[in-house]
Structure 1
Amino acid sequence: MEIGLIHIYCGDGKGKTTAAMGLGIRAAGRDKKVLLTQFLKDYDTGELISIEKLGENFCVVKGEPVRKFFKFMSEDEQIHTKNEHEKRFKEVTQKSIDENYDLLILDEIIASTNLELIFLDNVVEFLENKPKGLEVVLTGRNPNEKLVELADYVSEIRAIKHPYEKGITSRVGIEK
């Protein structure tokens, strides 16, 4: 891309990942190279099944699946998750540069920085020094003000009502 901007999809509402994936699909449809990684996710989602069908323009770098909330992990599991997330962040950002991607989606990186699984300063440094043409999307709740300042787009998705409040859990094809 001629100029790559920074997007944040944040808030407590449903749809942050969906918005990021929609942008990725739009870019891939226009023959842009898209690179996606997801932090704090288990990879059992319908969007990843769809993305696999898109072909070579949309690359997904999967890490080790995270199957429980960070606060419920043992100390050893937390350390292992932190090490894996830090390593993958470095690998995927380098890949985005080395292979000249147009769009990099870092799904749930905001939560990862808030939990100190990925150092905020490393994310800020990458964003400040990213290739001029690389578009970057960050998702998650409660972005640090440093990230908000660097972003060109900040879209907040606010929960007004959610079926989880009625005891309805994630449904295949809608939330997963």
Structure 2
Amino acid sequence: MGKLKKGYIQIYTGNGKGKTTAALGLGLRASGDNLVTYMIQFLKNSDTGELKAVENLGGNFKIFRFESPKDFVWNLNPNEIDILKKEINEAYLFAMSVLEKKECDILILDEIMGVLGNKFLTEEQVLTLMEKKPDDIELVMTGRNVPKTIEEKADLITEMKPIKHYFNKGVEAREGIEY
């Protein structure tokens, strides 16, 4: 690795659609320039178009998931929550290892803010991960409600803001568009 002279910390946040899509777009662009991108997806365990698309790209862009299939967090029982916490911790340890070993040029932590919001990881854990980031790796994080301590350490924050959304007219999430 080490293809980037300087890597920064980016965050895509807000209540609008497009946080994961923006991170995927960055990964796609990087892949085209032979940068290795790893995306760790948190709180996502169903089959999605991005999994198939990235698989078709070949070796420069990989998506990792550590969670077994489950319902939405708010529908889980205490035992399922415990399992989810262990799976998220495994993903976190993998992210730390990827940074320590410099296995990629870009590391995307998709929905890491959702993990924080649900208290599956602490702010301190994410701050530690940010501090361990080598200078030549780009770190991209997505999700709503970024804590101030994490905002302060970021180099770029883009907020997706909903102006108008067809969900408000009863349109459900569509395969190939929202997932």
Is the 2:99–2:133 Cα contact (8 Å) retained in structure 1?
no
CA–CA separation in structure 2 for the residues paired with 1:145 and 1:119: 13
Spell out structure 1 runs of 4+ moving beyond 3 A. Answer: none
- Name the counterpart of 1:31: 34
Q: Deviations over 1:29-55 (max 9, x none)?
A: 100010111001124111121110111
Is the 1:110–1:140 Cα contact (8 Å) retained in structure 2?
yes
- Name the counterpart of 1:106: 109
Q: Give the alignment of 1:68-79 within 5 angstroms.
A: 68-79=71-82
| Letter in structure 2 aligned against 1:18 | T
| Higher mean displacement: 18-27 or 85-94 | 85-94
| Letter in structure 2 aligned against 1:56 | G
Q: Which runs of 5+ in 1 are unaligned?
A: none
RMSD: 1.3
Alpha-carbon spacing, 1:67–1:160, altered in 2? closer, same or farther (3 Å): farther
Is the 2:99–2:132 Cα contact (8 Å) retained in structure 1?
no
How far residue 65 of structure 1 moved from its aligned partner, in angstroms, is: 4.0
Is the 1:43–1:65 Cα contact (8 Å) retained in structure 2?
no
Report the identity percentage: 39
Are 1:46 and 2:49 matched, yes or no? yes
CA–CA separation in structure 2 for the residues paired with 1:171 and 1:67: 19
User: Aligned to 1:166, which of 166, 169, 177?
Assistant: 169
SS in 2 for 1:106: strand
Q: Which runs of 5+ in 2 are unaligned?
A: none
Is the 1:32–1:102 Cα contact (8 Å) retained in structure 2?
yes
Are 1:60 and 2:60 matched, yes or no? no
Is the 1:7–1:153 Cα contact (8 Å) retained in structure 2?
yes
Are 1:175 and 2:170 matched, yes or no? no
Aligned length: 176
- Name the counterpart of 2:86: 83
How far residue 158 of structure 1 moved from its aligned partner, in angstroms, is: 0.7
Are 1:145 and 2:148 matched, yes or no? yes
Q: Give the alignment of 1:89-100 within 5 angstroms.
A: 89-100=92-103
Q: TM-score, normalised by structure 1?
A: 0.95
Alpha-carbon spacing, 1:111–1:66, altered in 2? closer, same or farther (3 Å): farther
SS in 2 for 1:59: strand
Are 1:19 and 2:7 matched, yes or no? no
How far residue 116 of structure 1 moved from its aligned partner, in angstroms, is: 1.1
Q: TM-score, normalised by structure 2?
A: 0.93
CA–CA separation in structure 1 for the residues paired with 2:40 and 2:69: 13
